[in-house]
Structure 1
Amino acid sequence: MIQRIGQSATAALALWFSVCGAAAAVSVPLQDFQLPQLSGLTARLEATRQGTPDAVRIVFDKDDPQRRMLFVRAKPTGAAPGARAVAFRYRLQLDRPARARFAALVREADGESWVKVARPAELATEWTVARVSVAAMRPTDFSPLASGTIEWGTVRWVCLGLVLDGSAKGTLEISEARLTDEPQHPTAPLRLTGEGPGAWTLHKDAAAQGTLTTPNEGPVGQPCLKVEFTFPGGRHMFCTNSLPMPSVDLEGYRALRLTYKATPPPGISGLLVLLSEDSGACYRADPMPTPSAEWKTSTIPLDQFRLAEWTQDPDGTLDMEKVVSVWVGAHGVAAGAGGAGTLSVCDLELVPFPR
């Protein structure tokens, strides 16, 4: 059964977006909100007139601890070529704690569908601005064709809501949702390691030795990545550590900032810092951050990342919307008989361009 909110206040929406979206070449309101059949939770859709046009209120209850999706779907009022994001205002209350992340799903007329899970949704009792990037969306598991690009002229539905982990009960209100090409302007750093040391994975040459731990040995006793490794001498070795990028909108960030200390084997002159795209193309920081026996913070502008010589990229340009992981480690030929090295990293962040 589909529950629907009517197309009232369309004229008010048009006026609103003509003002708020004046700087955007693409500003396509979403209307005719519906609540589709949902799995693993109960929900109902209500209209609300809290001083904002055509807002909807979703009341939901979820006992299932498994991950579930809470979506409301709406129709674009026109084509949106070049759209960068779904922008909207929201209020969110949770009576039972759960991990909630904003998400968007786009469905085309031929059945192809695309999804993007964004950053955690903050509780908000006042109307708050948010957005979910529609760049680099991935095909859903049930998408039949997966052509590689969204055909915006054939988009039938845009679904917007939450991905919920754990038992949850609450209300989500959404207002003034639209597709837009307005760029994101982040105002604070994005911590890539989350609340802890980060979910790092160690990668090394078979002839190298290395162990990865996450002790409380950061600058102020916080958890950090710590790698102890050994390179034999006389041949090229590598010991690197990868961290998956959070599934958020990375537009608007202009530098990678990391706090580290490193003592590499003799003959290794710097740290290997990479950004890896989903195609496998890697971009390395040039110049390389220098070793330091004491904790040091280095800020690397994204325009100082160059295509690594051992990978290929047809366009030869770093695209942050395609970046899936960041790598930090060491590589090269150790001098003499080789030797041991250590690397510790914490507070790995993307930094916005000063405005």
Structure 2
Amino acid sequence: MGSVFKKLPANKHNIDLGLLFAVTLCASISSILIWSIVKSGISENEGVGDSYWQTQLISMGLGIVAEYIISCIDYRKLVKIWWLFVPITLVLVALPFTPLGYQREGADDQGWIRVFGVSMQPSEVMKIAFILTFSYHLSRDEEDMNKPLHMLLLLIHGAVPIGIVALQGDYGTAIVFAAIFSFMLVSAKISWKYLVAAPFAAAAVVAVMWFNFLSSFHKQRILILFHPGTDPENIEYQQDLALAAIKSGGIFGKGIFDGKKDYIYVPELHNDFIFAHVGQVFGFIGSVGIIIVLAYIVLKIFADSRITRDRLGRFICMGAFGLFFTHCLMNIGMALKVAPVIGIPLPFLSGGGTAMLSMYAVIGLVISTYSHRAVAYNVFYDEDEE
């Protein structure tokens, strides 16, 4: 094996600068948005103070460092230490079931832990681990994946994280894992027979969840989308406030630096409903601009999946694509009242240190596949391995 740091990908053509710039732009805007929420005092009843935007800035800085370090590591070497990060991840996701776990205010699930005063959501770490391990599993088993036993093992691999977060009551994250799993599986050499059977299997799973696991509250969140204004418990009030906030911004928005205090309050405005704040401070033009940047990130990841040097890199990119696509679609859909409230953040924009760090880490994986297309720029590269 050659030296550990054989050669950094210093050539700008081997770093996806466009992708890196887009995610950092969103993260920077996020800090500004949360700063405006704090300074306006609109969410002070939720305890949203200066520490929130400061945490966002720190998380962005740490995320950029993590992204760079991960991007410099050959992804082929990274997946081979699954025996190290998988046990750590499993321990972390088990902690919410212990006294260390708690239900964050405003959330429906007990998927958080607090250690030495620091809060984190272990499922964010599990997203990274799952993308790596499932990519490795697919790359090793793609030729035989359509054999029943091999497909069963792949399904079990995908069911584990989905089941864990569902047991925590975090159905939104369970949907995200299901989407990651689906996009990665379809990008492999899966037989058309499984594709035909998939909708029926999905319908069966949904039926089982609906009649055996979902509470009446969760069911109502879904049903109200088809019958707006008929909710006696006013479950839809959060989405109604979000729509009002977006509409109040008009074409150009109310502004973010002029000291205006007439923002419309929306529960979780700094987090899951950050897009509502985008609408009221930046208006229609700014909202479309944010959507364009997010669309660029998602499509750029998909484009990178087409130019990787091997199947492993392609699966990693497709896992990242599934992650960001689902988060963006569901989060913005919540704010626009076309998707149920399931509590997942908008990538690089919603408040939350764990989410910011994990998103940057996933971008680091994508950039690793991009920068290690050429052997000459591999880091942690074995000269004898091809």
When normalised by structure 2's length, the TM-score is 0.21
Structure number with higher helix proportion: 2
Between structures 1 and 2, the one with greater strand share: 1
The structure, 1 or 2, with the larger RCO (C-alpha pairs under 8 Å, 6+ apart) is 2
**TM-score, normalisation: structure 1:** 0.22
Task: Report the structure number with the largest CA radius of gyration.
Answer: 1
